[in-house]
Amino acid sequence: METKSFQIVMNDRAHDQLKRRAKLMGMNIGDFAEHLLSSLEFRIKKAYEIAAVDPARHDLDDQFIKTILLADKAGLTEEELNRDLKDIGQTTRDTEWTPNVRL
């Protein structure tokens, strides 16, 4: 896999913290950022499973990411996060229409 150099604009303190965490893990910043993204991707996949929604849709990615990040910030328990994810899935199913012919 090809690697490239990128510049990412971020807060100085956030960058310093990212460097510290990467160093703690014995990684460079890029590798550490890739691992963080991978972790988020696994959590999104799990969110689709918990919400009982087909992950091929991808239309709920933004809602799931926001829910996960806000749950982390608020310190929600896993059960509380799962409840919120299930609510998103239920809301999605409630708005779907299934054709039905009654003669």
Dump pLDDT digits (tens) for 23-79: 999 999 999 999 999 999 999 999 999 999 998 888 899 999 999 999 999 999 999
Reported pTM:
0.83
The residue that leads in pLDDT, 15 or 93, is 15
Domain ranges of the chain: 12-94
User: For residue 96, is pLDDT > 80?
Assistant: no
Instruction: Provide CB contacts within 8 A for 81, sequence distance 6+.
Output: 67, 68, 71
Dump pLDDT digits (tens) for 17-39: 999 999 999 999 999 999 999 99
Instruction: In whole angstroms, give the CA distance from residue 21 to residue 28.
Output: 9
Q: 85, 67 in Cβ contact below 8 A?
A: yes
Q: What is the pLDDT of residue 50?
A: 97
